[in-house]
Structure 1
Amino acid sequence: MDENEPLINRSGDKTIIIYTRRWWVLAIFSLNCFMQAIIWNTWGPIAQSAKEVFGWDDGQLGMLPNWGNIGFIATVIFASYIMDEKGLRISCVVCSGLISAGAALRCITSIPKYATWLINTSAILNGIAGTVFFAGPALIASVWFPLDQRATATAIGSFFNYAGVAVGFVIGPQLVSAPKYNHSSATGPSQSNDLTTDISVTTASYDNHTTLLNYSQLQTETMWLMYYECMAAGALFIAGLIYFPNKPPTPPSYTASVKRIEYTNALGKIIRNGPVWLISLAYALPAGVYGVWGSVLDVILNPVGVSQANVGWIGFFATMAGCFGSLVIARFADLFMKHMKLFLVCLYICGGGSYVWFTLICTKIIPYSLVQIYISCIIGCIFLNGGIPLFYELSCEVSYPIAEGITGAFLTLLNNSFGVMFLLALQIPNIGTSWMNWTLLGSIAVGLLFMFAFPESYGRTDLDMEIDIPAPTEEEKSIVFIPNGSNKIIVNDDILTTTHDIAAT
């Protein structure tokens, strides 16, 4: 039997066949999402250390994630064309290679003059690679997964993207120490002339010195952090190169088999589609601001008195909570179809309330409490990140039959555009940090207005539910011998068997 031939094969009818290899495809895709996000979030969690090693300021630190967003914006339309016209394999493998190449560039030298250029170039390559891995979860779900697993599969892809951001908050501060300083002051005589009496006056002067004690340690640890990330990215590139099929032999749903609108026509239709604009802006404005807000969380909380290590743990716990929240919420959305708008409105209201609490603590309207900062950040992230997979799915519903890759690219293009505008504001001299929290709150409020105006519809799901799919017959059910000695009934799967593998009943 050919390895691409499914166990159940009824050519010419509407039988839906599900392949177990879909989990391998989703795993490789998701781990690349994870790696791309870790590299994107390398510098924010170790901001104070990076400033000392490379001589950067807040503006330079803000530009590193911003270069990723700019690279994304410049290439996402072309990437969506490659995904839909050339398929998932070539687009995913090429972008995985870009992640590896960008990670390798950072490992060449630690000399600040050259390293700064290489690290900025790496950030651009990593941002270009994110076009597929950030915009593609809904496409992977549509190509490989059945109707009742699509939102969950999209959530898993998004989960690993944000889990990468979360892990970046932890591995940086764990592998790279915080700067250690020695503060000293010297006292000595100083002479000056009294202009009224022309008498020389001797006074005491004080000269304060701050010395960095662990520069060599910071430099070595920063380079090892980049070495580790480069090795992990290379391993994922090789795994995808070895096996990452373009699509299953047969589609997992009726709509997955339907030919979509031609690429250039699809771009025109999506730009003229009012509901797509409403749901896209409802997602992109808060998510775009929130994504880059988290990348400079150390810059935001440093004036409040929160240490680099604590900021790392806040970012980690908040983002991981949001990731798991997205899985739970997406599963509920799969079970209770056609209620996504209600879910999203409730999530935004609760998330906005949490960040009002956080902002009031940072502005000292509420007395400072590290515990409250932890709790408000974690709860807020659960609600804001938890709804992201639903936005992707709902956008694909209202844009159908436009291909999911184009719709995902449109959402992420807007998302990154708002992120770029937020980070560019850091280049304004002496702008401070308090504006960042208020901007986040404003973006959530505007996103809610777009959600209220959005007319909910489910064109893709309605079509899939109307198609009558016959159940497999008893003859099509096989008892397959599993190597551990147990017998297992496999239905609609791609486990390969030969005649002597079939257990007698």
Structure 2
Amino acid sequence: MESESTNLIDKKERIELHDRCGCEDKETFTEAEISNQVYSVRWWVLFVCSLTIAAQCLNFVVWMPLSDSLLIAYDWDVSYVGAAAAAAALTFVILALPVMYIIETRGLRVGMLIAGISAVLVCLFWNASLHTNAFWLFVIGSLLCGISPCATLVVPSLLSVTWFPVTQRTTATSIGVLSVGVGSGIGYIAGPQITGPYITAKSVLHRENLTAEYIADVTSGLQNVGYFLLAVDVIVLIMIVAYFPSAPPTPPSVAQTMGREDFWAGLQILKTNYQFWLLSLAFNLTNSPVYTWIPLLAVHFRNLGLDQDEALWIAIAAALAAGVGVFVIGLLADRPFFQRKTKRILQGFSVISIVLLLLLSLIQCEYIYISPEALIPLLCGILICVGITTQSIFPICTELACEYAYPVHEGLTCTVVFMLNWGISIIFLGLLLVPALSEDTAWMTWVCFVGCSISLPLNILLKDDFRRLDLDSKPKGFKESPADNNDGNSKK
């Protein structure tokens, strides 16, 4: 198989795409200078990619914050919602590597088409389920919901190295990752706004006293949410079909001109890469439980009188803060002063997360008394900080994983990272199927605390190893073969 840098588009497509893109460097170039070429169309590709990621996150998140509404309308309790989310995670873990193989051999465009088509199918099954109260149709849709992230979650790092120069690489990844927060935030906002009726903690606890008209309004609102998701996914699919090239005519950096290991060789290298697994475990123990835990705030803090809409606005604030944090940290990480200091950022954020999650656990278990007037502002402030310290590390962790794994294909690297991420989610959400654990979810906050506590020593053990960055920092004209990198990898 050809190397990644030359396998994505053929010669004719390169010429046609070169004419359409408009090279920003108008000087003629030679093969030796091929790495200097960047194309303005990369921003459109990043925009479409970001919309696709946002739509996928919207699909995954939107139902968990509406767990109280689903309980009232269809008698689906939190264990149902957890089972649906776990089904999506299971599909991701099973299909992530096959989809990544397709992307590596067929290009980014094919991967994005898979993501767009599967998202539309998801919404069709969900709409059928909401109109028939058939939970098995909802589960089928949720299983299909795990296909889209097989492509979208690995795209930011792969797209950044494929289309962007080294000085914009982490920024591009951050913009793609920012769409995760945007999609989640839209899910938090759109869900209750479209559903309509205000759901309080008391109405859930005493739902047998609710009127048939009120329940019908909630049911109709949930069906409207299904229509909204379908409309969004159809629009995104149209944009992907209209124009989304797999790669630019010429690579944007020296590291991208070098070949990558093929799929199977890359897996063999990752299997013995100690630093890669250390980082992956530290990142996922922090990121995965918290990302799954935040949408269920209404369930976690129901004993303190927190209403569904109040919980949603707190989750929105946390998601937006995490999104801003992703972008700011991405910009800083691209600055020469910060490029080799990502490990220190991870260590500092781990310490802050540990302290805040311990405080939340004590409040939730009522070991610390908080007055009703101060509860919402305090929870909002803490959750904003937790969102920043656990979710905004997404781009720097994926980029650092690619540095540790080079010359393994960036898409394969990120796929393995997120297989572990979603595997943890399966276990976390699967525990909700135990009746005792679904009735009292205080344990979920403690799990988030323990995960962050374990990640701190793992982050301390990380080494400063920047293989792609070292290659791009070498004098122009210097060439290093992937085999050399592979040998170094094996020795480690």
Same fold (TM over 0.5): yes
Contact 2:91–2:147 under 8 Å retained in 1: yes
1:365 deviates by 2.5
Contact 1:283–1:391 under 8 Å retained in 2: yes
1:461 matches 2:469: yes
Contact 1:44–1:61 under 8 Å retained in 2: yes
Instruction: Give the aligned residue type for 1:342.
Output: R
How many angstroms apart in 2 are the aligned matches of 1:465 and 1:383? 30
Structure 1 stretch displaced more, 43-52 or 363-372: 363-372
Q: 2:394: which partner in 1? A: 388
SS, match of residue 9 in structure 1: coil
How many angstroms apart in 1 are the aligned matches of 2:407 and 2:100? 15
Q: 1:463 to 1:22 in 2, by over 3 A?
A: same
1:54 deviates by 1.8
**Structure 1: any 5+ residue segments left out of the alignment?**
184-207, 471-505
For residues 77-132 of structure 1, the C-alpha deviation after alignment (integer angstroms, 9 at most, x for no partner) is: 11111121211001111211111111122223534442x22221111111111111
SS, match of residue 162 in structure 1: helix
Q: 1:65: which partner in 2? A: 85
How many angstroms apart in 2 are the aligned matches of 1:216 and 1:172? 16
Identify, as 1 or 2, the structure richer in strand.
1
**Residues 64-213 of structure 1: pairs in structure 2 closer than 5 A:** 64-108=84-128, 110-114=130-134, 116-176=135-195, 177-179=197-199, 210-213=209-212
1:421 deviates by 0.6
For residues 364-418 of structure 1, the C-alpha deviation after alignment (integer angstroms, 9 at most, x for no partner) is: 2222222111110011111111211100000000100000001000100000011
For residues 113-172 of structure 1, the C-alpha deviation after alignment (integer angstroms, 9 at most, x for no partner) is: 42x222211111111111111122110111011101111111111110122112211211
Contact 2:112–2:152 under 8 Å retained in 1: yes
Q: 1:66 to 1:11 in 2, by over 3 A?
A: same
Q: 1:447: which partner in 2? A: 455
1:181 deviates by 11
Q: 2:246: which partner in 1? A: 246
1:33 matches 2:32: no
Contact 1:181–1:212 under 8 Å retained in 2: no
1:430 matches 2:430: no
Contact 2:85–2:142 under 8 Å retained in 1: yes
For residues 208-246 of structure 1, the C-alpha deviation after alignment (integer angstroms, 9 at most, x for no partner) is: 962334111111111111101101110110111010001
Q: 2:361: which partner in 1? A: 359
Contact 1:181–1:210 under 8 Å retained in 2: no
Q: 2:427: which partner in 1? A: 421
Q: 1:285: which partner in 2? A: 285
Contact 2:70–2:77 under 8 Å retained in 1: no
SS, match of residue 106 in structure 1: helix
Instruction: Give the aligned residue type for 2:45.
Output: V
Compare CA radii of gyration and give the structure with the larger one. 1
How many angstroms apart in 1 are the aligned matches of 2:68 and 2:208? 18
How many angstroms apart in 2 are the aligned matches of 1:411 and 1:279? 9
Q: 1:21 to 1:182 in 2, by over 3 A?
A: closer
How many angstroms apart in 1 are the aligned matches of 2:112 and 2:202? 49
Structure 1 stretch displaced more, 378-387 or 359-368: 359-368
1:38 deviates by 0.6
SS, match of residue 339 in structure 2: coil
How many angstroms apart in 2 are the aligned matches of 1:238 and 1:217? 32
Instruction: Give the aligned residue type for 1:52.
Output: I
Contact 2:69–2:199 under 8 Å retained in 1: yes
Q: 1:98 to 1:2 in 2, by over 3 A?
A: closer
Structure 1 stretch displaced more, 9-18 or 341-350: 9-18
Number of residue pairs matched by the alignment:
445
Q: Which of 43, 54, 62 lines up with 1:42 in the alignment?
A: 62
Q: 1:57 to 1:3 in 2, by over 3 A?
A: closer
Q: 2:404: which partner in 1? A: 398
How many angstroms apart in 1 are the aligned matches of 2:209 and 2:323? 41
SS, match of residue 210 in structure 2: strand
How many angstroms apart in 2 are the aligned matches of 1:212 and 1:168? 27
Q: 1:346: which partner in 2? A: 348
Contact 1:44–1:298 under 8 Å retained in 2: no
- CA RMSD in angstroms, aligned pairs only: 1.9
Contact 2:251–2:257 under 8 Å retained in 1: yes
1:12 deviates by 2.1
Q: Which of 405, 409, 415 lines up with 1:409 in the alignment?
A: 415
Identify, as 1 or 2, the structure richer in helix.
2
Contact 1:52–1:179 under 8 Å retained in 2: no
1:303 deviates by 2.2
Instruction: Give the aligned residue type for 2:390.
Output: L
Instruction: Give the aligned residue type for 1:4.
Output: H
Q: Which of 13, 18, 31 lines up with 1:4 in the alignment?
A: 18
Q: 1:122 to 1:8 in 2, by over 3 A?
A: farther
Task: Normalising by structure 2, report the TM-score.
Answer: 0.87
Give percent identity, aligned residues only: 25
Instruction: Give the aligned residue type for 1:411.
Output: V
Q: 1:402 to 1:234 in 2, by over 3 A?
A: same
1:182 deviates by 10
Contact 1:182–1:211 under 8 Å retained in 2: no
Structure 1 stretch displaced more, 398-407 or 11-20: 11-20
Structure 1 stretch displaced more, 390-399 or 116-125: 116-125
Q: 1:315: which partner in 2? A: 315
Contact 2:199–2:308 under 8 Å retained in 1: no
**Residues 258-273 of structure 1: pairs in structure 2 closer than 5 A:** 258-273=258-273
Structure 1 stretch displaced more, 4-13 or 432-441: 4-13
Instruction: Give the aligned residue type for 2:210.
Output: T
**Structure 2: any 5+ residue segments left out of the alignment?**
1-14, 479-492
How many angstroms apart in 2 are the aligned matches of 1:445 and 1:182? 35
For residues 323-344 of structure 1, the C-alpha deviation after alignment (integer angstroms, 9 at most, x for no partner) is: 1111101111111211110111
How many angstroms apart in 1 are the aligned matches of 2:200 and 2:360? 29
How many angstroms apart in 1 are the aligned matches of 2:224 and 2:96? 31
How many angstroms apart in 1 are the aligned matches of 2:245 and 2:144? 24
Instruction: Give the aligned residue type for 2:155.
Output: G
